[in-house]
Structure 1
């Protein structure tokens, strides 16, 4: 599917149409700005700034509010599946929105004070850096 994503416009929404019953079940990726730097690949250490919100717009987490970018190894199960799937292929300098259905986020678990069981999440993410073993 990666070849397909590259040939589609930046506003392409994967697998679901807003307002459709499938919307809450599919990861949706919208590129707000396509970066020109290094590409995020499985196993890379990535650095991001992000804001996570609930469907009603409530912010539940933000690297901006903490004043420190977030780092993680992508594609290896160290973050929610929506991030593992939704950030592969993103380029440094890019900005992307991910609509992550509950089954690709925290499922039926309560996380912190805001994320309830079955919660779909939205993330606005800016990719700042990608480091691989080649670096």
Structure 2
């Protein structure tokens, strides 16, 4: 590094080397402001300096240019923090669902079915054709939620149905049981108790809620098709 590099580095700093109000001899001195924010207030500071009364507007009663500059920087800091707060409050992205607002209202009047295992469900739409036999492959879309309604997994976001062998333990027990009694084209909301859900829980992913061990979950499921069966029954 050459001797010319040091002044260049110092001048690139966004804050003055000496703090505002540091003492030089018998009076306060100020390092030359380097940041863009201070440059914006330079004209105002010079006007205050040339004023004999050293008074600000009626809104502010400043005794010196140091007080005025400090006030200006403080107000600017509040403005910047306000912008950051507004940015943090942006609305969350809407996630695709199987049951929209109209569907939610209609579900309030749909009777709840409770099975011997403790699984509960409401049919959003009753399908047609066969129900899947145990061990058959099914293609289903799902939206998985915690009881508060926050989504922790969804095939809709992945862009394709989930294919698995129903009744063979490839998915949680509550989902297996709930789909076994559905028909092709049907949609159902499953209220799955903790004993039929995730015994070990699920860790939270970015933007996703955590699923505690053996906690209840909710699945909205649509049975899209059963390979090898839907054609035979038509």
Please, what TM-score do these two structures have when normalized by structure 1? 0.77
Alignment deviations for residues 22-42 of structure 1 (CA, whole Å, 9 cap, x no partner): xxx821021111101331221
What is the 5 A alignment of 1:1-135? 11-15=111-115, 26-107=118-199, 109-113=200-204, 114-131=210-227
CA distance in 1, matches of 2:228, 2:192: 26
* Higher share of residues assigned helix: 2
Aligned length: 117
- The change in CA–CA distance for 1:35 and 1:105 in structure 2 (over 3 A counts) is same
1:7 corresponds to which residue? Answer: none
Runs of 5+ in structure 2 lacking a partner? Answer: 1-109, 205-209
Please tell me whether the aligned partners of residues 34 and 93 of structure 1 are also in contact (alpha carbons under 8 angstroms). yes
1:132: how far off? 5.1
CA distance in 2, matches of 1:80, 1:34: 22
Runs of 5+ in structure 1 lacking a partner? Answer: 1-9, 17-24
Q: Flag the structure with more relative contact order, 1 or 2, with Cα contacts below 8 A and sequence separation at least 6.
A: 1
* Higher share of residues assigned strand: 1
Alignment deviations for residues 59-117 of structure 1 (CA, whole Å, 9 cap, x no partner): 0000111111111100111111101211112111000111111110112x131312111
Structure with bigger gyration radius: 2
Please, what TM-score do these two structures have when normalized by structure 2? 0.46
Q: Secondary structure at the match of 1:64?
A: helix
Please tell me whether the aligned partners of residues 31 and 96 of structure 1 are also in contact (alpha carbons under 8 angstroms). yes
CA distance in 2, matches of 1:49, 1:106: 19
- The change in CA–CA distance for 1:15 and 1:128 in structure 2 (over 3 A counts) is closer
1:15: how far off? 4.6
Cα RMSD (Å) of the superposition?
Answer: 2.2
